[in-house]
Amino acid sequence: MENRSVYSASSQSSAIEINKVLRNTYMLLAMTLAWSAICAGIAMAMGIPRGLSLVMMIGAFVTLFILHKKANSTAGLGLTFLFTGLLGASLGPMLSMYLAAGSAGIVMQALAMTAVIFVALSAYVLVTKKDFSFLGGFLMVGLVFAIIAIIANLFFQVAAVSLAINAVIVFIMSGFILYDTSRIVNGGETNYIMATVGLYLSIYNLFTSLLMLLGMGGDD
């Protein structure tokens, strides 16, 4: 009886901790997404060039490397906003290009599709509490191949290949949303900063890939 009581108390404590991580993750995710949108808007208003956008993106991933080491410290929050702000601002030239071409509807459609996919996949995991940790290896392999294909296509510039790559990235990022959310729900991820960064990157890449897919479809 005593062992059962200890086990019950431990399970309850674990559930409370998981709910806390989940709550903090979604709160921070909402703030970083809003912050990214503000930074993107500022970058568009300033008309930053593509070269500076690339520098910001490189800076973001340097920040991400530091963030991994500082995630358990108070500096982690500041680095998270720096990272997401730089990535948000780096979208400025791309969004400006679509808006200048009168394709604001495509941007809004990509945003709506991203939101629907994220909410639907997250809700599925939260309701079923299914463990998607088995996807980790497949997703990483897929991501590596996608990156190699992106680099290769920089030289060949084949539109059909670019279309296929972005379609694959949409599926990979959808998988990462399932994987990262299930890790939080099942106690595999206990650091809400790293959980936020993982989900943010999935949303960011999902949005940009959908935007490019819709843009290429609109060109046809």
Query: 190 or 26: whose pLDDT is higher?
Result: 26
pLDDT digits (tens, 9 = 90+) for 144-167: 999 999 888 888 778 888 899 999
The model's pTM is: 0.90
Of the candidates 196, 195, 171, the residue with the CA atom closest to the CA atom of residue 183: 195
pLDDT digits (tens, 9 = 90+) for 109-135: 999 999 999 999 999 999 999 999 999
Statement: residue 213 has pLDDT above 90:
yes
Domain span at residue 199?
Answer: 2-219
**pLDDT at residue number 34:** 97
Statement: residue 9 has pLDDT above 50:
no
Domain count within the chain = 1
Statement: residue 56 has pLDDT above 70:
yes
**pLDDT at residue number 6:** 44
What is the average pLDDT across 181-200? 92
